[in-house]
Amino acid sequence: MSHQSSPRPFWFVLLTVILFALLMAACTPDPPAPTPTPSPTASPEQTATPTHTPTPRPSPTPTLPPLGTSGNPITLGFILPADNTADTAAADLAVLLGEETGYTIEALFYPDFTTLSMAVLNNEVHLFWLGPLEYLYLNGEGAAEVMLVTNHLGVYAYGVQFMANLNRGFTAYYDPDENQSLGEPLNALQQFSGTRPCFLNPGSIAGYHVPLGLLANASTPTLAPVFTYGYNATIRALYIGGICDFGVTYALTGDPLTASDILINLPDAPLQIHTIWQSEGIIPNLNLSASPSLPVFIRFRLEEAFLRISDTPQGMNLLRTALNYELEGLRSVEDHFYNPLRAALAPLELDLQTITHQNAQ
């Protein structure tokens, strides 16, 4: 027996159609997103280019001609007051040096040590003449190196002598026949402990600074000094008595006891006043120094020329006149020549700049 299928109800068919439509809709791809329209980009405003003035380049420093030629002379400094007529001799000396060496040399003149030292420290002068304390000052500043020292009255360096009247009872450590001291300096100098000295003046190297330093090195304190302001006055004070117990004068370059004023007015002074102790030559005479900037080979050539010139009458006359100094010769020395002086002055701790500038006034 066969069975006949019954028709599906309407609601079933409708549900099937709806489900089919939903499935189709789920399978349909999304439409593409619209492409955004780009916003117009604002063009940058045109900035005016500032006018640029280029920085001027510095002019190159002109190159000097070689040292010792006409455009760049070697300079030789002298301390000469404005009314001094020695400048002609100094200029002639520079010419003579030029003839000896082939260099162009110019003489420069300064009224005092203060102005000369400023020129030396500023490297404006190559060669210059210096006293002992002036040299120690500029050498300590690294601005001077000694080349030559002068012979004055037969010596290249002089000393000091401590003198007293016989009635003071000091023991002499000096042999006048041999012109030299005997025994230990400490024994000689320590006799003066607690006594009063006669010194020359507060600015004198031989009449104040060196004897004061020697006494300090000997641990010998003294009373406040009497300043006589003249070596002959020191001799007179010792002769008269009651002013000071001992006095100090220069030595090796002469003797104040033999000065004509003393021999005429105090003829027995050499019998009453004796040297108790005398130093060796520890104070160098006037020197010729060079700036460290001066090349060594030029320095040596100039040194040899100075020595040759000093051996001639013409050259010696020019040197004496230009320096206003009793010059008898020149000698090459090195810095250690000043070590005895440095040792004598060391305990004083001197302000050499102040002392040398004060002496220049």
Write out the CATH class of domain 157-283.
alpha beta
pLDDT value, residue 241: 95
Paired sense of beta strands 145-151 and 329-332, if any: antiparallel
Residue with tokens 């040899």: 304
- The predicted model scores a pTM of 0.81
Average pLDDT across each block of 10 residues of the chain; the chain has 361 residues. List them in order: 46 47 48 47 46 58 86 95 78 96 96 96 97 98 98 96 96 93 95 98 96 98 98 96 97 90 93 96 98 97 98 95 94 98 97 88 51
Angle at the Cα of 51 (from 46 to 56), degrees rounded to 5?
150
Helices (H), 241-312: 260-265, 269-272, 296-310
In three-state secondary structure terms, 241 is coil
Instruction: Decide if domain 74-154+285-360 falls under CATH 3.40.190.10.
Output: yes
Q: Comparing 74-154+285-360 with 157-283, is the CATH topology the same? A: yes
Distance CA 97, CA 108 (A): 14
Q: How many helices (H) and strands (E) does the chain have?
A: 13, 14
pLDDT value, residue 42: 45
The answer to whether the CB of 62 falls within 8 A of the CB of 52 is no
Q: What are the phi and psi torsion angles at 241 (to 5°)? A: 85, 160
Give the domain ranges of the chain.
74-154+285-360, 157-283
- Following DSSP, what letter does each residue of 98-162 receive, concatenated? HHHHS--EEEEEESSHHHHHHHHHTT--SEEEE-HHHHHHHHHTT--EEEEEEEBTTBSEEEEEE
Q: Which residues contact 103 (CB under 8 A, 6 or more apart)?
A: 68, 69, 73, 74, 97, 298, 301, 302
pLDDT value, residue 318: 95
